[in-house]
Amino acid sequence: MTPIQRRFFLLAPLGIAAVGGAAFWTLLERMRAGRYDPHEVPSMLIGKPLPTFSLPGQQPSQGFSSADVTATGRAVLINFFASWCIPCVQEAPVLMTLKQQGLPLWGIAYKDKADATSDFLQQNGDPYTRIARDEPGRVAIDFGVYGVPESYLVDKAGIVRWRWAGGLSEDVVQQSLAPLLQSLT
């Protein structure tokens, strides 16, 4: 082993510790400043047009495409969900409340069978105006979905304005979604 290789092997752990320390320091600074939210996952779609897609429906008349979303002329919340998803069950009452408030909710059943989706909607309520099926998960990939549930607010021009990875709660709706909806109307 050459002297340069020995130095590298001796200094490599120090370099790794320095990078880890810098990352930890950044995390602490963000927490102190109130800018750190462990549930916030960045999305490359924010401020960009909705990905182009066309999906079959849970029922033949319920499928939709990206063009259908923009044709509504108003903001739409697209929610990826699945019958096997525990947080989807937990967010169901919040989605029902949003439906009662008049927000159009369009659901995309992610990697789920039609019968299982129907059972899920019967047990937990159906807040969706339209429901499409993404069994292979290709549209979810275009959206950048990390897992279900995940929600995207699309404005009337078809621009993605907001994303929430995880189940929606009353707090998330009041603190994050509701102010954005007011600014879009």
Residues in the chain: 185
pTM of the model: 0.79
Q: Which of 34-39's residues contact partners 24+ apart within 8 Å by CB, and which partners?
A: 39/164, 39/165, 39/166
pLDDT-based confidence at residue 77 (cuts at 50, 70, 90) = very high
Q: Is residue 129 a contact partner of residue 104, using CB atoms and an 8 Å limit?
A: yes
The whole-number average pLDDT for the span 88-116 is 96
- Rounded to an integer, what distance in angstroms lies between the CA atom of residue 184 and that of residue 177? 11
Q: What percent of the chain has pLDDT over 70?
A: 95
- Rounded to an integer, what distance in angstroms lies between the CA atom of residue 153 and that of residue 158? 9
Q: Is residue 118 a contact partner of residue 126, using CB atoms and an 8 Å limit?
A: no
| pLDDT at position 110 | 97
Question: Helix axis angle, 86-100 relative to 114-124, nearest 10°?
Answer: 60
**β-pairing verdict for 105-110 and 76-81:** parallel
